[in-house]
Amino acid sequence: MKHWITRIADELNEKDVPEHVVASGTSISGSIHIGNSCDIFIANAVTKALKKMDTNSKTIWIADDHDPLRKVPYPLPESYEKYLGIPYSKIPCPEGCCSNFVEHFEKPLLSILEKFGIELEVYSGAKMYKEGMYDEYIRIALEKAPKIREIFNKFREHPLKENWLPYNPICQECGRVNTTYAHSYDGDIVFYSCKCGHKGQMDIKTGDGKLTWRVEWAARWKIFGITCEPFGKDHAASGGSYDVSKIISKDIFGYEAPYPVPYEWITLKGEAMSKSHGVFFTPEQWLEIAEPETLNYFIFRSKPLKHKDFSPSMPFLDFIEQYDRVERIYYGEEEASSDKEEQKLKKIYEASQIEISESMPFHPSYRFMTVAYQIAGKDPEKVFDILKKNSQLSKSMAEKTFAEIDAVDVERLETRINHVKNWLELYAPEFVKFQVLNKLPRVEINDEQKEFLLEVADLLENGSYNPEEFHDALYTIIHNLEIKPQKAFQAIYKVMTGKKQGPRAASFVLSIDKDLVIKRFRLEE
């Protein structure tokens, strides 16, 4: 059984090429999120798989920063509508912190790629035009414009005009590139008209223009010798960009199109990610709440065209628990449901790792740590003690004191504490949040609830329990008093936090200082 990334690498390895160039590209139209950065993650994974086979390979990333702004991205003001149609590379930085619009939005991504173990060569579409990398292909495209029109028209309902050229100059009057129409040329000089009313000419060598997208895509395959490229499913639709560019690449530029890896969009809480509407989640945001390997796992755990939905709120805890389970199975700390599942999960885990540790990394339960953090704060020793009290450590770790665990494990614990802290502050619903109050709050509890609390206080004073034992003991008291479980647990949360609900009662109570709990359950000030 092979992971789909390995299968792609196997097929690429059969091709007789001196080097595999796995390409990725992103339109710099706003914040780069986990949806439109999938190209990068998949491309890097394929390259790594090829290198494991001792195959010469590399990943490149092309910023499509010469494209026109079509919608004002969130959170930019409406005043940025004046830049609609203007290439991203020519728009100023919205906050004055970077050289331009492009740097402002690509810098956050490029600055954290190292944390994901991603190595790539970075190219700017605008610089490629300025430096003349496209000049030869522009000339070929202009010369073979009738043939390109013919290819395009096979996939169009309304045919292109007879004088249409596959090139758009940037208007010298209004600065827009999506409102110009190139109708003729003489050598390197292209003549055009613009919707703003301007008629002009430009030299392709200035770089102040661009090939129409499907021709540009085919040209850069040839320029870089690209052999594989992931891209969104919209490009993979029948008669879409890839189908058209594939023909142009072969018939116009004499180059076989790269191996395609189309992928499904990632939705956010069921909603399509949108830069203009502010509906997105970035890789930087991910690193605030989880390790980089978990994002790899999210992308690689299912085939690229399978639907993926992400929510940073409560479903995120389930997701992290799934990842931790896969990690335990990989290191033999937990059994899979079958041999087939074990093989599958191990391959996914391997594909997700930046580096694979010899022994299982220390990753205590994220869900339980949302409780431990709210009781102990950021102190790793106090958190460790709560984990130990609640049987949340592996057997080998449970036998150690905090002073005996090594520095790497302390660092991992501190990292997860910080992730949990950020998740609670940024994404946790209110019902998950609590604070153990220093004083007995003014709350209403009935006589039945008071009796329940007194019996639990006596239970704690006269014995010690693990979470399962204490859970069973609580239900024994509930049964004997014939009190509804909901009312019993409400009493616990009310006197400890002032709320009617909280985390799993047994673990919650055992995580707090025993003397404080006994005093509080006896309603002592």
Strands 20-27 and 57-64: parallel
Tell me: is residue 275 an annotated ligand-binding position.
yes
Residue 124: which H helix or E strand, with range? strand 121-124
Angle between helices 447-461 and 467-481 (to 10 degrees): 140
Cβ-based neighbour number of residue 54 at 10 Å: 8
Find out whether 20 and 47 touch, Cβ atoms under 8 Å.
Answer: yes
Length, in residues, of the chain: 525
Q: For residue 504, give the amino acid letter.
A: R
H-type helices in 209-255, by residue range?
213-224, 233-236, 241-251
Three-state DSSP at 191 gives: strand
Q: Tell me how far apart the alpha carbons of residues 492 and 503 are, in angstroms, rounded to a whole number.
A: 11
Phi and psi for 177 in degrees, rounded to 5? Answer: -115, -20
What is the strand order of the sheet 189-194 is part of?
Answer: 180-186, 189-194, 199-203
CA proximity to 469, closest of 434, 501, 436, 509: 509
Torsion (CA) 84, 87, 89, 91 in degrees, nearest 10: -20
The two structure tokens encoding residue 177: 């590139």
Q: Count the alpha carbons within 13 Å of 382 in the hemisphere toward its beta carbon.
A: 13
Query: Cβ neighbours of residue 228 under 8 Å, at least 6 residues apart?
Result: 8, 12, 20, 21, 22, 23, 43, 46, 258, 259, 261
Cβ-based neighbour number of residue 53 at 10 Å: 12
Tell me the chain's radius of gyration from C-alpha atoms.
30
Task: For residue 167, list its beta bridge partners.
Answer: 211
Find out whether 324 and 298 touch, Cβ atoms under 8 Å.
Answer: no
Task: For residue 199, list its beta bridge partners.
Answer: 193
Find out whether 118 and 44 touch, Cβ atoms under 8 Å.
Answer: yes
Task: For residue 353, list its beta bridge partners.
Answer: none
Distances from the Cα of 365 to the Cα of 239, 324, 416, 457, angstroms:
47, 8, 9, 28
The distance between the two most distant Cα atoms of the chain, rounded to a whole number of Å, is 97
Find out whether 273 and 265 touch, Cβ atoms under 8 Å.
Answer: yes
Annotated binding site: 275
Q: Which segments are annotated as binding site for ATP?
A: 275
